[in-house]
Amino acid sequence: MWLIVGLGNPGEKYANTRHNIGFHCLKHLANQHNLTFDGKRANARIAEGHIAGQRVALAKPQTFMNLSGQAVSGLHAWYKLDPATDLLVIYDDMDLPFGRLRIRQRGSAGTHNGMKSIVGQLGTQEFARLRVGVDQPPQGWDAVRYVLGRFTKEEEEQLPNIYANVADAVELILREGVRAAMNRYNG
């Protein structure tokens, strides 16, 4: 079984912000596979089912971004998973150009507070992650203000294609493994 976590902040105030791109990617993936977020566990909304022949639990932590690790560690314990082989986290990254995907089998949390929380709670950096580029803030903007800001009209027009690319990447990970997805999407 795979636990696929999309990071974001709960509530209408944050619904359409850059920081919630992980939530939106999961919603798109769930819709493609007729899965619904009707479960609740470990302070996360859960959609369970099958994707690419694999049993999956899609999770949207409801802890707010900076405490994402609380939900992920609770889900890790509930499902009795090995993070190194059964966990994928999808989240926004300001260091990547808008829409660019970067997949890694492991790594540091960098400056992302949600990832810092997950690494801290799990006690390991050994889990897959799929970063979705949201680009750098404009000159003079505060990073927090930027990621908690809404997408521009031009960016919004590109979001459906980005969500579709993320869904394709996740399906490839589930079918052929993280390395195959890295080879295809990290170019």
Q: Which residues are designated catalytic?
A: 19
Task: Tell me how far CA of residue 28 lies from CA of 49, 112, 120, in angstroms.
Answer: 14, 23, 28
The span from the CA of 6 to the CA of 89, in Å, is 6
Query: DSSP assignment of the chain, as one string?
Result: -EEEEE----SGGGTTBGGGHHHHHHHHHHHHTT----EEETTEEEEEEEETTEEEEEEEE-S-GGGHHHHHHHHHHHHT--HHHHEEEEEEETTS-TT-EEEESS---TT-HHHHHHHHHHT---SEEEEEE--PPPTT--HHHHHTSBPPHHHHHHHHHHHHHHHHHHHHHHHH-HHHHHHHH--
